[in-house]
Chains A and B, each alone.
Chain A
Amino acid sequence: MTTIEYNHIVKKAQGRFNGGIHPTECKTLSNQQAIQSLPLPNFLILPVQQNIGQPGEIICQVGDEVSQGQLLVDNTEVFGANIHAPLAGKIIAIDQYPTNHPSGLPQTCLKIKTAKQQVSTELFSPINWQQVEPQQLLERIKLAGIVGLGGAAFPTHVKLAAQPINTLIVNAMECEPYITCDDRLLQEQSQQVIQGALISAKIVNAKEIIFATEDNKPDAIKQLSQCIKQIKSEVTIKIIVAPTKYPSGGEKQTIELVTGKQLPKGKLPASMGLLVQNVATLFAVYQAVNKGMPLTSRLVTLTGNQIKTPGNYWIPFGTTIESIMQHFDISDFTNQPVVMGGPLMGQPIFNYQAPVTKATNCLIFNIAATDEKMWLTQSTQHQPCIRCGECDKACPVDLLPQQLFWFSQSDQWDNLENQGLFDCIECGACAYVCPSEIPLVHYYRYGKSSIKTIQRNHEKSEKAKKRFEFREMRLARAKEERALKHKKAAEARKKAAQDKKADPTGKQTAINEALARVKAKKSAQNSTNPQPKE
């Protein structure tokens, strides 16, 4: 085991956050092997929406032959990210397929039959990032469809548009058990990741880059510090090492560890002059700028006791879990959940047709031994809350998880919001320490989505109310106008009748009208031929 040497580049973190847990790491399962690739899958199921926000426009058709990296979904929305063909092949269907969404509802996906011969075409020309304007780099990142690969899938070009930024924090904490893709990427591609960080720093005009990591990644730290020593740049690059504790990798927790300051509620890191980016995202930035490659695949940790060769693999988006299972010959795995993401924040997937997307960083194929209580086992019934307060001690954002639980159980939405439900990062530390095994995070998600539904319904009913009131107003106005018209018509009729009475034959009227005409004609002549003045 390598030990960490602290020097002017590698420093210990000064900050700390309350709470947190120390689960068994299970990281050595997958971080001992070099990064590998899988053989080509037969087909891909590519969801057309892989970012938060609105879906984009599909610009291909069934039957189209697509080359690797070709743009398939053009997304011009504010929080949109483009989607490119992960592999060359033919689009055989555009339909609804089940994905990894927790609802189990199908999403629109492109089904691509992959070609036997993969010819890689260059979509963009490589850019020498030191010689171009930041705007051009930002445009490239937008076109390449890069989103945050830490799991939130927030479009990177939106994040990089924030100003002013002093410090770019590279989040290499990777605090969740089992996951090792960032660790491995730093060990093998640290040069590229640093380049990616420098590109991002140039875009936001940051003066400093800080790699924030945990002390359980000594190899990555060693590799990184060696690379940093060789780099000559105006930007200072440092590594800050925090003690291993879950969830150091949460954005707010990372900021607190690195700066010693808490991010205020409801504020973005940019308000403190900070920008936090994930390691894998920066690697994608490097690939897009220096190699001209759009984001079409990512490093995924494949691990668990059912995989004979666990490790980190480059997997094109759209590869189904089933095809991965076929490759590893996992046959005794029926009706078991494959965990997508980590064991604390991920979600169990029972439908193996679900594809790997931009947000997938880890897949765990685990079967718990029957006689022991292990990771990823599930119980259908939980014990009642005994108010032991263990969750309060574990919460990294200083909330009161048991209060949230009670309020969520009894649908007390106002109280939930007052207790800071929306500050909960759903890290699962409370559920991990709960002696009653209450699925606490689920109660919070239920509460959050219920409050959002209520808000959405309220907005809808406000809109309906406005439209209803406008219609009432419109009808009243129409009625008034009609009444006015009728009144005028009646008056006109009355006047006509009176006139007729005064002048029964209409002779006088005709004379009057003729006189008026003559008068008008005369005055018109006068104005066109004025008499010359003496």
Chain B
Amino acid sequence: MNELLIATATLVIFAFLCGGLLGFASIKFKVDGDPIVEQINNILPQTQCGQCGYPGCKPYAEAIADGEKINRCPPGGEAGIKALAELLDVEPLELDDECGEEAPQRVAYIREDECIGCTKCIQVCPVDAIVGAAKLMHTVIESECTGCDLCVPVCPVDCIDMPEVAPNINEWQWPKPYLLTNNNEIPVKVIS
């Protein structure tokens, strides 16, 4: 009988100790927010264009964490979908046509002599990349522009262009080797 009591008491004390430890850990090592949202958000291109149907990249990241499809981000393109699929361990999908097509990087350009200074584009720019004031000319800070297109439809005088970013010699990338033509190969070859 005594053994039974000792065993029960030991187990109960042990259970309380473990419970206390877990309780302490849950307070001490509490995770704020959902880390998966942060990870998804890091993969998304941060264009903030809203083509996915959400008002920015973070909201879309939250939606993905809640089960939204991963193929709604045209600026991220195929590479982005692949990275998301890998992170979430799901099958990569084709890009959703409804959201748009994968396009080369573009940047907004305001034809300054046509600008009437209405500040509408300034208000919609998600990254504050347009400077200007009411009734004064506006201009785009090119290095901050994500090419999201949001400023184009709100302009009442249609003075915003979205030209493609010209290839820069310092940012040029070597093409994939099997896509090469004869002309670009490195002359390393075998001697007889």
Which A residues contact B (CB, under 8 angstroms)? 23-24, 101-103, 105, 107, 337, 339, 343-344, 346-348, 350, 372-380, 408-409, 428, 431-432, 434, 437, 439-443, 445-446, 448-450, 452-453, 456-457, 460-465, 467-468, 470-471, 474
Contact A376 B177 (CB under 8 A): no
B135-192 residues with Cβ-Cβ distance < 8 A to A are: 144, 146, 167, 169, 171-177, 180-192
- Whether the pair A467, B127 counts as a contact (CB closer than 8 A) is yes
Name B56's closest neighbour in chain A (CB-CB). A468
The segment from B15-23, B39-47, B63-71, B93-101 that touches chain A is B39-47
Q: Using Cβ atoms and an 8 Å threshold, which residues of chain B touch A373?
A: 189-192
A105 touches B191 (CB 8 A): no
Contact pick for B191, options A339, A375, A441, CB 8 Å: A375
B74 in the interface, Cβ–Cβ < 8 Å? no
| A428–B188 CB distance below 8 A | yes
In the complex, B128 has a CB within 8 A of chain A: yes
Docked-complex contact A103 and B172, CB < 8 angstroms:
yes
Q: Give Cα A68–Cα B192 distance, bound, in whole angstroms.
A: 46
How far does the alpha carbon of A7 sit from the alpha carbon of B58 in the complex, in Å?
72
User: Which listed residue (A105, A350, A462) contacts B167, Cβ 8 A?
Assistant: A105
Q: Is B81 an interface residue (CB 8 A)?
A: no
State A443–B174 Cα separation when bound (angstroms): 9
Residue B118 CB within 8 A of the other chain: no
Give the interface of B toward A (CB within 8 A).
Answer: 41, 44-48, 56-58, 126-129, 144, 146, 167, 169, 171-177, 180-192
Q: How far is the CA of A103 from the CA of B48 in the complex (A)?
A: 31
B185 engages A378 (CB within 8 Å): yes
Q: Is the CB of B192 within 8 A of A467?
A: no
CB neighbours (8 Å) of B192 from chain A are: 372-374
Is the Cβ of B186 less than 8 Å from the Cβ of A437? no
Least CB distance from A295 to B in Å reads 22
Which of A107, A350, A431, A467 has the largest number of chain B CB atoms within 10 A?
A467
- Tell whether, in the assembled complex, residue A102 and residue B126 are in contact, meaning their CB atoms are under 8 Å apart: no
In the complex, what distance in Å separates the CA atom of A336 from the CA atom of B146?
42
Chain B residues contacting A441 (CB-CB under 8 Å) are 186, 188
A465 vs B185: C-alpha distance when bound (angstroms): 39
CB-defined contacts of A465 to chain B, threshold 8 Å: 41, 46, 57
B187 touches A461 (CB 8 A): no
Query: What's the Cα separation between A437 and B171 when bound, in Å?
Result: 29
What 3 A-B pairs come out closest when comparing CB atoms?
A: A461-B46, A464-B46, A431-B188
Could you tell me the distance between the alpha carbons of A346 and B183 in the complex, rounded to whole angstroms?
14
Are the CB atoms of B183 and A446 closer together than 8 Å? no
Q: Which residue of A lies closest to B126 (CB)?
A: A468
In the complex, the answer to whether B127 meets A348 with C-beta atoms within 8 Å is: no
The B interface, classified by DSSP as helix, strand, loop or mixed, is: loop
Judge whether A468 and B188 touch: CB under 8 Å: no
A102 and B174 in contact, given A107-B169, A457-B45, A470-B128 (Cβ under 8 angstroms): yes
Task: Report yes or no: A461 in contact with B45, Cβ–Cβ below 8 A.
Answer: yes
Q: Is the CB of B180 within 8 A of A442?
A: yes
Cα A408 to Cα B178 in complex, Å, equals 11
CA distance A46 to B186 in the complex (A): 25
How far apart are A312's CB and chain B's nearest CB, in angstroms?
A: 21
B181 to chain A, nearest CB (A): 8
* Contact between B188 and A344, CB atoms less than 8 A apart: yes
B152 to nearest A CB, angstroms? 18
CA A394 to CA B127, docked complex, whole Å: 50
Q: CB distance A456 to B187 under 8 Å?
A: no
Q: How far is the CA of A434 from the CA of B56 in the complex (A)?
A: 49
- Contact flag A103-B186 (CB < 8 Å), given A468-B57, A470-B128: no
A443 and B177 alpha carbons, distance in the complex (Å): 6
Q: Write 26 A-B pairs (CB below 8 A) sorted by A numbering.
A: A102-B184, A103-B167, A107-B169, A337-B187, A347-B186, A373-B189, A373-B190, A375-B187, A375-B191, A376-B187, A377-B189, A378-B189, A379-B189, A409-B177, A431-B186, A431-B188, A439-B185, A439-B186, A441-B188, A449-B172, A450-B173, A460-B146, A461-B45, A465-B57, A468-B46, A468-B48
- Given A374-B192, A457-B45: A467 and B129 interface contact (C-beta under 8 Å): yes
Which chain B positions have C-beta within 8 A of A347?
Answer: 186-187
Indicate the member of A375, A446, A461 with the most B CB atoms within 10 Å: A461
Measured in the bound complex, the distance between the Cα atoms of B172 and A432 in whole Å is: 26
